[in-house]
Amino acid sequence: MTEKLNKIDLIIVRYLLKEADIAEQEYLLNWLKKDISNRHYFFAYKDTWEKSRRDLSEIAGTGESFRKLKEKMDTPADHDRIIRKKSIFLSFLRYAAAVLLIAGLGFAAYTVADQFKKKEVPVTYTEITTENGQKKEVTLPDGTKVWLNSGTTFKYSDNYAKEYREVFLSGEAFFEVTRDESRTFIVRTDNITIRVLGTRFNVNCYPDLKMVETTVISGIVSLQNDNNKEGNDIVILNKLEKGTYIKDQQKILIEKNPAAGEPVKPIGLKKITLNEEETVYISSWKDQALSFNNETLEEMAVKLQRWFNVSIKIDDANLKSYRYKGKFDNVKSIYQVLEVVKLATPITYEYNEKTKEITIKELKK
């Protein structure tokens, strides 16, 4: 990495200045994919870049020289000369930020952190919840759209989009993130942190599930394992890829194609590649379509409980492993789903009005 350090530094700076050409962007993407340390290096750059650039912008925006420059701009004879000076000064500010970034990552981060300590103010949040049987669509201040599935809690700071874009999620949500090169969009869950610039993706992180799933419909997403003390468990997901975090192992793993019924296997910093049909199954809930993609009856029951706000009990253990695949558009009743399940599985079910519970039993011949 040391031989190419100067080159990658230059490309990162050009990328952050929005001057990187296609070849440089591809080089950067490939470099990020090669090694975990590369991704850490890039994110350290980007975080400090954003903080230092805001500081320089404040200096430039309030400087007396800019006021005088504007006054002189009204003189035609000085117009060309002033424009050249302004261009040189703006270039200086941009590359001053780059020099600050390369020469003083640690110092800049410390300075910004110190400023924040001095200006500590109470942070307030907007919190949105959906009960079982409910779904909501939310538009954030930057135009980002978020769909919340049943049984979800979602919150964001009232300072959202002013300095940073950070949200907190427990449950399931689909995101259409408005692109902003200067402010990374961050989703924090109990186990992983997700970072994007502008993309469409689904996050399933219900507390009662054994895993957290992140599926990318378009764009690029970074997943970081928050339970890894070294902070080096990071996965980059591209379009039509899914990353899975296994809670009891505290690892981000690859999940083999669930449609093939293959098991989850730990194979390092990799992920599953999906086809278009599979991504439709994963995100169809936001369009009021209830989908099951090779899911067990036990997994289906959990999803049905949230969708219809009912309690479901499976009486016979051997029924729990039956698998199903199907899609119900604008389904109104849980009984519509159970009747279809009955066609493929020897089951019967009954509803207890007193306990408000549906019991699924094996149909005895």
Instruction: Render pLDDT for 2-22 as a digit per residue (tens, 0 to 9).
Output: 434 467 878 887 787 777 777
> Could you tell me if 147 and 156 are in contact, meaning their C-beta atoms sit under 8 angstroms apart?
no
d(CA 344, CA 74): 80
pLDDT of residue 258: 44
Q: Which residue has the tokens 């117009």?
A: 79
pLDDT of residue 155: 97
Checking phi first, is residue 149 left (phi over 0); if not, alpha (psi -120 to 50) or beta?
beta
State which amino acid sits at residue 133: G
- How sure is the predictor about 241, in pLDDT bands with cuts at 50, 70 and 90? confident
Pick from 14-23, 108-117, 129-138 the range whose average pLDDT is largest. Answer: 129-138
Burial code (b: 16+ CB inside 10 Å, e: under 16) for 202-212 equals bbbbbeeeebb
Topology alike, domains 132-279 and 288-362? no
Average pLDDT over residues 116-143: 85
Q: Which residues contact 59 (CB under 8 A, 6 or more apart)?
A: 93
pLDDT of residue 225: 85
> Could you tell me if 181 and 18 are in contact, meaning their C-beta atoms sit under 8 angstroms apart?
yes
Regarding the domain delimited by 132-279, which CATH topology (the fold level of the hierarchy) does it fall under?
A: Jelly Rolls (2.60.120)
Average pLDDT over residues 318-342: 92
Regarding the domain delimited by 288-362, which CATH topology (the fold level of the hierarchy) does it fall under?
A: Phage tail protein beta-alpha-beta fold (3.55.50)
In Å, how far are 113, 217, 264 from 202, measured between CA atoms?
32, 8, 20
Average pLDDT over residues 223-228: 83
Q: Which residue has the tokens 């050409």?
A: 21
In Å, how far are 34, 207, 221, 307 from 274, measured between CA atoms?
21, 25, 15, 25
pLDDT of residue 16: 77
Q: Which residue has the higher pLDDT, 28 or 125?
A: 125
Average pLDDT over residues 36-51: 73
For the chain, give the mean pLDDT: 77
User: Which strand (E) or helix (H) includes residue 235?
Assistant: strand 234-237
By C-alpha distance, which of 47, 275, 32 is closest to 164? 47
Residue 52 scores a pLDDT above 70: no
CA angle centred on 51, ends 90 and 48, rounded to 5°: 105
Residue 230 scores a pLDDT above 70: no
Q: Which residue has the higher pLDDT, 328 or 225?
A: 328
Question: Above pLDDT 70, what percent of the chain?
Answer: 71
By C-alpha distance, which of 309, 322, 317 is closest to 357? 309
pLDDT of residue 290: 94
> Could you tell me if 153 and 170 are in contact, meaning their C-beta atoms sit under 8 angstroms apart?
yes
Residues in the chain: 365
Pick from 127-136, 224-233, 269-278, 346-355 the range whose average pLDDT is largest. Answer: 127-136
Q: Which residue has the higher pLDDT, 231 or 211?
A: 211
pLDDT tens readout for residues 147-204: 999 999 999 999 898 878 999 999 999 999 999 888 889 999 998 999 997 899 999 9
d(CA 51, CA 15): 16
Average pLDDT over residues 296-307: 94
Q: Which residue has the higher pLDDT, 257 or 124?
A: 124
Q: Which residue has the higher pLDDT, 314 or 92?
A: 314
Residue 37 scores a pLDDT above 50: yes
Give me the residue spans of the domains in the chain. 2-118, 132-279, 288-362
pLDDT of residue 57: 52
Residue 115 scores a pLDDT above 60: no
In Å, how far are 8, 29, 269 from 3, measured between CA atoms?
10, 18, 24
> Could you tell me if 202 and 194 are in contact, meaning their C-beta atoms sit under 8 angstroms apart?
no
173 phi and psi angles, rounded to 5 deg? -150, 150
State which amino acid sits at residue 334: I
Residue 135 scores a pLDDT above 60: yes
The pTM score is 0.66
d(CA 317, CA 339): 20
Average pLDDT over residues 321-341: 92
By C-alpha distance, which of 198, 238, 235, 200 is closest to 217? 200
Q: Centre a 10 Å sphere on the Cβ of residue 200 and count the other Cβ atoms it contains.
A: 19
pLDDT tens readout for residues 68-113: 544 544 455 444 444 444 444 445 445 555 544 444 444 444 444 4
Average pLDDT over residues 266-278: 62
